[in-house]
Chains A and B, each alone.
Chain A
Amino acid sequence: MSRLGDWLDDRLGLRRAMNDVLDHPLAGGPSWASALGTTVGFLLLVLVATGAALMTTYAPSETTAWASVHYTQFLAPHGWLVRGVHHFAGESMLVLAAAHAAMLAITGGGRRPRELGFWAALGIVGLAALLCITGAALPWDQQGFWARKVELGILAALPGGNTILRLAIGDGALGPAALTRFFALHAVLLPLLTWSLVRVRRRSDRAYARALAERHSVSEAYFPRQVSRDVALAASALIVALWLAYRMHGAALDAPADPRSDYPARPEWYLLWLYELRHHLHGNLELPGTALAPVALLVLFALVPWLGKRGAATSWVGIVVVIASASLVGSMSYLGWKRDAGDAKYQAARRKAQIRSSIATELARDGVPPDGPLAMLARDPELRGEALFTKYCATCHVLGALGDPKKTKAPTLDGWGSESWNLAMLHEPDAQERFGNTPYEGEMPSADVPPKEDAESFKPLTKDEMDAVAAFLSSQADEPGEPIDPKAVRNVKTDVGQKLVVERCTTCHLYEGKGDDGGKGLAPELHGYGSFAWTRAQLADPATPTTYREGARDPQRKGHMPALAEELPSADLDLLARWTRAHARGVALR
């Protein structure tokens, strides 16, 4: 062992380098402030190591970024741990760099001849924030995308902001070029700059300590008291990052970035104070104020060594500046958090976003197609069906949570095709949740309640007959292999029901193309009513003999169902029919 050591030492001078560190004089005894600085440098090394590991499973492009981060987080062995440590070590570095700068400001650590070291410490705070911000963009998820979208918007509104923007992200828009730039900034340029500043700060500290030691001739060495503080603090920081990574099982991953969604953008927690500050700045001050506030704070800190008394061990100006800025950032963060916590609309939007995030996460476990996670989501029958229903159907119909029950202009579809839905329709067709408030109001008589006029010649259906008709109609909706409602009575009564339908309902309706009105009526075909084929035909064009016939196109009857075949491709019509039937029956497609 010692022979290997000698061999290496002869060639690399390791022992001397080590002694140079351990025996180096300290400036005025061991301090926690100095340990904070060392810990920031240590965390940077942790970030480089974990970042290098993350790069082995990361692919920066719009179609692969989210998928590869999902792979790292959920599929690669221990990927979550590496990602989590990287995430929390990064945020810890920002916090500790800020704490370090604050301690230097308070203890007069920036006074001559240590100005450069102090400025470097301030620069590290800014760079750590930029590293966090660019890093948060890399998963290309909703959170990262929309927070950056707003930040770039603020930047673009500044004088000269567009030039900075083009230099920073290569394009005016958050597209493929921007993601690649974020990656280059985050993985190469910003870490190199940060490392350079860490070196500047260290050089400044050591030069100062050497000068002091020469003047006083006796001085304590770096080892052992300062080394033990450095090691204790650096180890604690790493343990905290590990613990947070373990607690959160990695780091959060939101749904894939969707530039067309109405996502409620919020910045990450360390920028929440600026989000809140923006609310208190108005007019022309709003955007420049938000962008310049952090710069102004850094400049104010940078000037601290020149303000107040020179000789004192404690800088009172430093204390005032630290307390003032900590109160500003702290109170603004709290107010911002409180604003969102009390905002029901925002919370509802968040819940919606979380549902989408967990669906995307689950779907991606089966792999993400080469055209990306948005294509994966767009092809998911459940999400696509819901989106189609929301867009084309929920303006008039209600189904589950979709559609506004106060604004219906068409029947509610929950339970459509079931015996109970059919019974309700036979009994009271003009109820609000059926034909009430639709162009068909007043067209269908009740099967068991006598009409106001001509009540004497009306022959109501008995309860058994009603059940039989409902059972028969419900059987028309069944597709092979679909589960039947266990309460259904259809098995014994469908033949009775069929006879009644042919005898009584075809006065207005068609059954297997036959009816008493010679095909000119309004009431739909009942054969296959509620089946996939019937639903699909009705969606494509209600004005065919398969469903509602030509009367559905009558311009006098404004508000009838539109023919979606003109707007939707065939595959979407198939899906919408499948989705609507499944959800009417209370089952999901997935």
Chain B
Amino acid sequence: MLAPGAERGGGGARWIRTVRLDALDEGVPRRVAVVADRRAAWVTEKAVELGSVWLVRRGETVRALSAECPHLGCTIASATDGAGFACPCHDSYFTADGHRQDGPSPRDMDTLAARVTDGWIEVDFRSFRTGVPNQVEIG
């Protein structure tokens, strides 16, 4: 009871529909909400924002980057000086491709699988442990 295991129905892909491919301009990053059902301890919520992802369109494909900072889990915003991303908590900077540029983040932004189905961008939404150099999935 005191230390329950993380039961979050892990395993398998969780493809979540986000926005239409048309809605993205080539190479211009856009943060979109990831909306799905959430189960946490005794609460189940339908269709809530689980988090957000940064989407960058490259032609007909899309690169999806988790907006959760790999350092300590704050939400990564776009860098104020234009290209790339910045975390508002401890000033980690990332390039437009999500590569670590500056600051304390131990790894690049986490890339998520993305695909386009019927003109809609779908993202395989996952969370990873923060503060460690390699990607370790939670749940």
Contacts and interface: CB of A to CB of B under 8 A. Distances in A.
Interface of A: 62, 146, 149-150, 153-154, 156-157, 163, 166-167, 170-173, 175-177, 180, 259-266, 278-279, 282, 286-287, 345-346, 349, 395, 562, 566-567
B95 interface: no
B42 A176 contact: yes
B22 A263 contact: no
A154 B5 CA distance: 20
Contact of A149 (B4, B19, B74, B77): B74
B90 A278 contact: yes
Nearest to B23: A562
A286 B40 contact: no
A299 B103 CA distance: 31
B93 to A, nearest CB: 12
Instruction: Report, nearest first, the 4 A-B pairs whose CB atoms are least far apart.
Output: A157-B131, A153-B72, A175-B40, A177-B41
Contacts of A262: 67, 74-77, 88
Contacts of A264: 74, 88-89
B72 A149 contact: yes
A349 B75 contact: no
A260 B49 contact: yes
Contacts of B71: 153
A492 to B, nearest CB: 45
Contacts of A566: 20
B124 to A, nearest CB: 19
A353 to B, nearest CB: 10
Interface in B76-115: 76-77, 80, 88-90, 104
A173 B40 contact: yes
Interface of B: 2-6, 19-20, 22-23, 25, 28, 30, 33, 40-43, 49, 51-52, 67, 71-77, 80, 88-90, 104, 129-132, 138-139
A266 B87 CA distance: 13
A171 B138 contact: no
A562 B22 contact: yes
Contacts of A173: 40
A349 B19 CA distance: 27
Nearest to B74: A265
Nearest to A348: B80
Contacts of A287: 131
Nearest to B6: A172
Contact of A175 (B41, B49, B76, B129): B41
B40 A167 contact: no
B76 A154 contact: no
A265 B72 CA distance: 10
B51 A171 contact: no
A323 to B, nearest CB: 30
29 contacts: A62-B43, A146-B89, A149-B74, A150-B72, A153-B72, A156-B129, A157-B130, A166-B6, A167-B3, A170-B4, A170-B41, A171-B40, A175-B41, A176-B41, A177-B40, A177-B41, A180-B41, A261-B75, A262-B77, A263-B74, A263-B75, A264-B74, A264-B88, A265-B74, A265-B88, A286-B104, A345-B88, A395-B25, A562-B22
A345 B88 CA distance: 9
B24 to A, nearest CB: 10
A264 B80 CA distance: 14
A153 B104 contact: no
A150 B4 contact: no
Contacts of B77: 262
B2 A172 contact: no
Contacts of B52: 260
A277 to B, nearest CB: 12
B17 to A, nearest CB: 11
